[in-house]
Structure 1
Amino acid sequence: MILVAEELDPRGLELLREGGHAYRYEPNLWRDPESLRKMLAEATALIVRNRIRVDGALLEGAPRLRVVGRLGTGLDNVDQEALRARNVVLVYAPGANALGVAEYVLAALFHLARNLPRAAQGGDRLALGGFELAGKTLGLVGLGEVGLRVAQRARALGMRVVGYDPLRKPWEAALEGAGVELLPLEAVFSEAHFLSLHAPPTPETRGLVNRRTLARMRPGAYLINTARGELVDHGALYEALREGHLAGAVLDVTHPEPLPEDHPLRGLETCLITPHIAGLTREAQARVGERVVQGVLEVLRAA
């Protein structure tokens, strides 16, 4: 039995119906750990998003499990060593939502530059015109699938793009094709008018945006985070925004998530917080669901 314990796109459900395996679609099962454990006892496959922690303790109660499908690209909630120890295959869809996230970053750039909601309220027309993105510098921390797509689109807008990624080399064709100038991390922080984060959470990147690194940023710069909330010290960001050192921020991810309603950042007009939606376009969800379900079914057929 295939157990789907979180939301799955209709395209994925359609493939499950056609797949020839019994399945249960319980999109709210993550809210009921006891029922999850009971159903897992009979499951040969488990499909989750990011709310269920797939670790050794969970797997102990799933003796028949052969494959785990992760709907998304991040694997923060999946203990891959625990899966390998039990010969459970992991299926996920890296890059499937990269286009959606890249377009969200573009939307954030335009929002910060033109702020149409504020302009719609009226006032001094000359003061509400905003500024142009052409000629500005976009700094990217992380140059994977999303970062490179953002770079290509920003270059098309006439922006200069600089980036940092310890896994990239200056001579790589992917960087040349995207028009990215590879720089040391400190230089990316100091030269960017807009800093966009696309790095995974690691011991080296957690708290990467902090009082020290924020102080390196040029006065009036902007921060965009669609990666992981742990990359940003939210207290330090609040101070930088409140004091006017940064002109604004768009956060699609926070830590914790969601950010408490009484968090000081929520009281700042210069900080826009969205509920982790950058990669949740209809098209991206269809791609993710299709790829993960296809992978799960292939594993079960081969078992």
Structure 2
Amino acid sequence: MEDNPWALISEVGEQGYIEDVTDIMTQHFRIISHRDFLQNPPLHAPKIQAILVWNACPPTEPSLLTSLPALKVVANGGVGIDHLDVPYISSLGVKVTNTPGVVSDATADMAMGLLLASARKIVEGHQVSVDPKTTHIPQCLMGYEVTGSTLGIIGMGDIGHKIARRSKGFDMKILYHNRRKRSVEDEEAVGATYCESMDDLLRRSDFVMLAVNLTPETTGLISRRELSLMKPTATLVNVSRGLVVDQDALVEALQSGTIRAAALDVTHPEPLPRDHPLLRLPNVIITPHVGTNTYTTTRRMVQTMVDNALAAVNGQSIPNEVKPK
């Protein structure tokens, strides 16, 4: 253990890693929290060979990166790397990795959970059921049919494809828009139809699911124009990143009836300011970016981070290296 390389982490606890995954890290690394590191940077900096980034922490700012002469890898937990300046980090001779694949099932489950909760008013039903003032169950608590409806998936990567697999079980008609058309085999596996035009998908879908990476091209992808193309009975579901949606435009669309509802696992910022109008709208469900938050997936993510970091530290082939574009 004394010979293990050092890794900088955020912390163990409420704002960082759950206690249940520390064994995975300490088996191969000597870990130090960012808070402890800052108590004496000159002492710790020369030892750090890896940064294990969880929920964008520790923040990989140039001041930190350039202070770590032995740093070999920044291993990110999750697929999205929009919080990492990959070209800059790579220019320092430091590798960048992420954890694709292992997050897909949990995120796809969450996506379907949000869709179903919004359509069938599950949160509202729970509130009525537990309200001490409830003396009868209102029959006006009507939802919207999921079975047989049309789902439009924007972003048909691994997560999008797994969402489609789940949707097939609800006999949904599945449309998708992606940078590249999937193979015929992939389409047939889920019964999905490619829409070259995102506008066409927006017009035809009862539920629009966002499962894209955040890039300059997808920032603000859904704004006033796109929302205006959706059905007034449509629901927007976002499990990608908050900045993919223009939130001011979304508030307007939900208030005016341009669309029926939204179900969001991501916002910008996270959490939203407590006076943000999205928090007061009755036709919105918001969860706190917990798409990957299951014990099984979290352990798999941390194991993949550690595997990636070890490979980089030991000069081996890195399973999930992210290279600058």
**What TM-score results when the alignment is normalised by the length of structure 1?**
0.90
The 8 Å contact of residues 37 and 58 in structure 1, kept in 2 or not, is answered as: no
Kindly indicate whether residue 52 of structure 2 is the aligned counterpart of residue 47 of structure 1.
Answer: yes
- Cα distance in 1 for residues equivalent to 2:40 and 2:292: 26
The 8 Å contact of residues 118 and 285 in structure 2, kept in 1 or not, is answered as: no
Greater shift, 190-199 or 160-169, is seen at 160-169
Kindly indicate whether residue 7 of structure 2 is the aligned counterpart of residue 2 of structure 1.
Answer: yes
- Cα distance in 1 for residues equivalent to 2:192 and 2:257: 29
Aligned to 1:94, what secondary structure does the other structure show?
coil
2:190 aligned partner: 178
| Structure 1 residues 93 and 199: CA distance shift in structure 2, 3 A | same
Which amino acid counterpart does residue 14 of structure 1 have in structure 2?
A: D
From 210, 222, 230, give the equivalent of 2:223. Answer: 210
Kindly indicate whether residue 238 of structure 2 is the aligned counterpart of residue 229 of structure 1.
Answer: no
Aligned to 1:40, what secondary structure does the other structure show?
helix
Kindly indicate whether residue 27 of structure 2 is the aligned counterpart of residue 14 of structure 1.
Answer: no
CA displacement 1:118-154 (0-9 Å, x = unmatched): 2341666542242321110011110001100000110
Kindly indicate whether residue 306 of structure 2 is the aligned counterpart of residue 293 of structure 1.
Answer: yes
CA displacement 1:17-40 (0-9 Å, x = unmatched): 332x4x1242xx3x6884485533
| Structure 1 residues 17 and 207: CA distance shift in structure 2, 3 A | closer
- Cα distance in 2 for residues equivalent to 1:37 and 1:174: 50
| Structure 1 residues 205 and 193: CA distance shift in structure 2, 3 A | same
Which amino acid counterpart does residue 91 of structure 1 have in structure 2?
A: T
Kindly indicate whether residue 118 of structure 2 is the aligned counterpart of residue 112 of structure 1.
Answer: yes
The 8 Å contact of residues 101 and 146 in structure 1, kept in 2 or not, is answered as: yes
From 91, 97, 104, give the equivalent of 1:98. Answer: 104
| Structure 1 residues 270 and 32: CA distance shift in structure 2, 3 A | farther
- Cα distance in 2 for residues equivalent to 1:18 and 1:32: 20
2:323 aligned partner: none
Calculate the aligned-residue CA RMSD, in Å.
Answer: 2.2
2:320 aligned partner: none
Shift of 1:298: 2.8
Shift of 1:210: 1.0
Structure 2, gaps ≥5 residues long: 1-5, 129-133, 317-325
1:143 aligned partner: 156
From 72, 78, 81, give the equivalent of 2:87. Answer: 81
Structure 1, gaps ≥5 residues long: none
Kindly indicate whether residue 261 of structure 2 is the aligned counterpart of residue 251 of structure 1.
Answer: no
| Structure 1 residues 32 and 127: CA distance shift in structure 2, 3 A | farther
- Cα distance in 1 for residues equivalent to 2:308 and 2:20: 14
Which amino acid counterpart does residue 244 of structure 1 have in structure 2?
A: G
Greater shift, 34-43 or 177-186, is seen at 34-43
Identity among equivalent positions (%) equals 30
The 8 Å contact of residues 9 and 286 in structure 1, kept in 2 or not, is answered as: no
1:163 aligned partner: 176
Which amino acid counterpart does residue 269 of structure 1 have in structure 2?
A: P
- Cα distance in 2 for residues equivalent to 1:166 and 1:53: 30
Aligned to 1:246, what secondary structure does the other structure show?
coil
Which amino acid counterpart does residue 92 of structure 1 have in structure 2?
A: N
- Cα distance in 2 for residues equivalent to 1:132 and 1:63: 58
- Cα distance in 2 for residues equivalent to 1:168 and 1:10: 42
**What TM-score results when the alignment is normalised by the length of structure 2?**
0.84
* Moved segments of 4+, more than 6 Å: none
Aligned to 1:278, what secondary structure does the other structure show?
coil
| Structure 1 residues 11 and 300: CA distance shift in structure 2, 3 A | farther
The 8 Å contact of residues 9 and 58 in structure 2, kept in 1 or not, is answered as: no
- Cα distance in 1 for residues equivalent to 2:36 and 2:266: 25
Which amino acid counterpart does residue 189 of structure 2 have in structure 1?
A: G
| Structure 1 residues 2 and 34: CA distance shift in structure 2, 3 A | closer
From 65, 70, 74, give the equivalent of 2:71. Answer: 65
| Structure 1 residues 129 and 182: CA distance shift in structure 2, 3 A | same
The 8 Å contact of residues 52 and 77 in structure 1, kept in 2 or not, is answered as: no
